[in-house]
A and B are shown apart, each in its own frame.
Chain A
Amino acid sequence: MSEIASKTSINLAQEDQVVGPWKEAWRSFRKNKSALVGTAIVIFFVLLAILGPFIAPQGINDQNLSQRLLPPSSEFWFGTDDLGRDIFSRILHGARISLTVGFFAVVISAAAGSFLGIIAGYYGKWIDTIISRIFDIMLAFPSILLAIAVVSILGPSLRNALIAIAIINIPNFGRLIRSRVLSIKEEEYIHAAKAIGMKNARILWRHILPNSMTPVIVQGTLAIATAIIEAAALGFLGLGAEAPQPEWGKMLADARIFLLNAPWAMIFPGLAIMLTVVGFNLMGDGLRDALDPKMKS
């Protein structure tokens, strides 16, 4: 009897806990195995990016021409490249470059895209027409082609590659937010906000923006993966990172002429890119399922 009583009181106590939308999302995220694997991979690479320079066994630009293109060994875990540099150390450093580019490119494009998308969606009419048509024009080009165009205007460098990637991703975020705002705008709680006597700015920033953020978080995580690939592609084409920088795409490009003699020089940077991208993709999928069950396709 008392047991039953204590059980019901436990249930009541649980019911009384305030479960916010974020907490609830975390609960469902926690149950998703592949999302947790993805998160682990992402955390692993983030740690590498932070700690890489400290744990790298060799300097990134320590050339030793007598040790060119050595296969993986206990001394050089991932082998050496054509200038005798330790590939393992260079990959550790490269994690910092790739993640920084991926992260900042996405933050910039998400911020700019969300702003434009919200303005277009909420105010509509000619503002919407102008912004949406610009997005359409940008999306009409293959994104990598657009990035190449931007970089060739700005000049090749890692920073310009970042800017280019940020710019080409703006319409993706802009459209996403615009469509979200269009649907939220017609929700009854927005009419209610207006009926209460709220100003447009308050409705936009306090009600519409927070309610349109979940797809941005999801899209942002997935876009980091794409941005890393795009950065690597620009590096591979010689439009991103410059010569001594240990950028993964650049490393791939430098190693490709030795593919038959020294495949490790290409395999390991390639694996690093692939793993990071898979990590972000799994995490993004998990976030999507947790934050916005309706987005599941």
Chain B
Amino acid sequence: MANVLLKVENLTKYFPIRAGMLARKVGDVKAVNDISFEVYEGETLGIVGESGCGKSTTGRVIMRLHEPTSGKVTFDGVELTALSSEEMRKVRRDIQMVFQDPYASLNPRHTVEKILEEPLIVHGIGSAEERRRKVIEYLEVVGLSAYHAKRYPHQFSGGQRQRIGIARALMTNPKLIIADEPVSALDVSIQAQVLNLMQKLQEDLKLTYIFIAHDLGVVRHISDRVAVMYLGSMVELAASEDLYAEPLHPYSQALLSAVPIPDPNYEREQVILTGDIPSPSNPPTGCAFHTRCPMAMEVCKQQVPQFRQVKPGHSVACHLYNDR
């Protein structure tokens, strides 16, 4: 088994809700609730879930763009959650991020050259001449051309901008890239291009990805292992083939049955969920999913199910599998 590059233990992030004149704390939005997982070197871990389930927050808390409420993140043997902000700033050289909205993640007043050069300047890498050469090199790596360097972001299409965003993340030769819905703002045809580019870069540069998305097809295409999140908790984590072939958690089953299949004659059983996703500021007792679960039992309302391995490499948090 490959080395563990990133280890997340009991990570929790609550956003306080403040109200009134004195900004008194009246509650918490439990965005990420006690999740643990590992990312192995060279793999792609997909994180899926519906809007607001905490998958983006998970990525940002790992980067410490938001400070975690509790829990531990270890990257390459270094405990990120124990670093000072200055030490963390330096570690960011090895963990980079690709953002969701290619229209918002590039500074509109900087040329592409400036945008790509900045990570190098910030981490004091190379001379001015070396930096310029590297900018051109990486523009070509992501499928753009040297003459694009002098342009401004608004002169590019969405797909091209996302390539710039990817190039920026690659500039410092990071080990881990957290991609926060990198293709969900793009057209389907462009999505495929960008995904293929990311896969090719992974092979060439030995990158490790955490790939956050809500599109199950996209995640299946790119991920080695997939984690499913619901309301701030991780409900299932398995190798991609296993999860898609045999989802264990009722929520995963419902999600997967919603993926359209390009065959009009194919008959299958769809699991239709009823009700809305509960508020993360006031999650249900016991299993967070019990209010919508077609298989809910009495125990689900009282006890939070343990997230545990039920088959080799396949973990799930559900009382249905307590005896396994």
Q: Which residues of A contact B (CB under 8 A)?
A: 16, 18-21, 187-189, 191-199, 202, 207, 210-211
Contact = CB atoms under 8 A, between A and B. Distances in A.
A196 B107 contact: no
Contacts of A20: 152
Contacts of A197: 89-93, 119, 122-123, 172
Nearest to A199: B89
A195 B60 CA distance: 9
Contacts of A21: 108-109, 152
A189 B168 contact: no
26 contacts: A16-B147, A18-B111, A18-B151, A18-B152, A19-B152, A21-B109, A188-B104, A189-B106, A191-B60, A191-B65, A191-B99, A192-B97, A192-B106, A193-B107, A193-B118, A195-B65, A195-B92, A196-B92, A196-B96, A197-B89, A197-B92, A198-B118, A199-B89, A199-B122, A210-B109, A211-B108
Given A197-B91, A199-B89, 19 more contacts: A18-B111, A21-B108, A21-B109, A21-B152, A188-B101, A188-B104, A189-B104, A189-B106, A189-B108, A191-B105, A192-B99, A192-B168, A195-B63, A195-B92, A196-B96, A197-B90, A197-B119, A197-B122, A199-B122
Majority SS of interface residues in chain B?
A: loop
A165 to B, nearest CB: 31
B140 to A, nearest CB: 18
Majority SS of interface residues in chain A?
A: helix
B100 interface: yes
B150 interface: yes
A202 B65 contact: no
Contacts of A211: 107-109
Contacts of A210: 109
Nearest to B105: A188
Interface of B: 60, 63, 65, 89-93, 96-97, 99-101, 104-109, 111, 118-119, 122-123, 147, 150-152, 155, 165, 168, 172
Contacts of A18: 111, 150-152, 155
A193 B165 CA distance: 11
A189 B107 contact: yes
Instruction: List 6 tightest A-B contacts by C-beta distance, closest first.
Output: A197-B92, A188-B104, A188-B105, A195-B97, A189-B107, A196-B119
A195 B89 CA distance: 8
Contacts of B152: 18-21
A207 B115 CA distance: 11
Contacts of A207: 107
Given A196-B92, A196-B168, A197-B93, A188 B109 contact: no
Nearest to A197: B92
Contacts of B109: 21, 210-211
Nearest to B101: A188
A187 B110 CA distance: 15
Nearest to B147: A16
B104 A198 contact: no
Contacts of B89: 197-199
Given A19-B155, A188-B105, A194 B93 contact: no
A191 B152 CA distance: 19
Nearest to B63: A195
Contacts of B91: 197
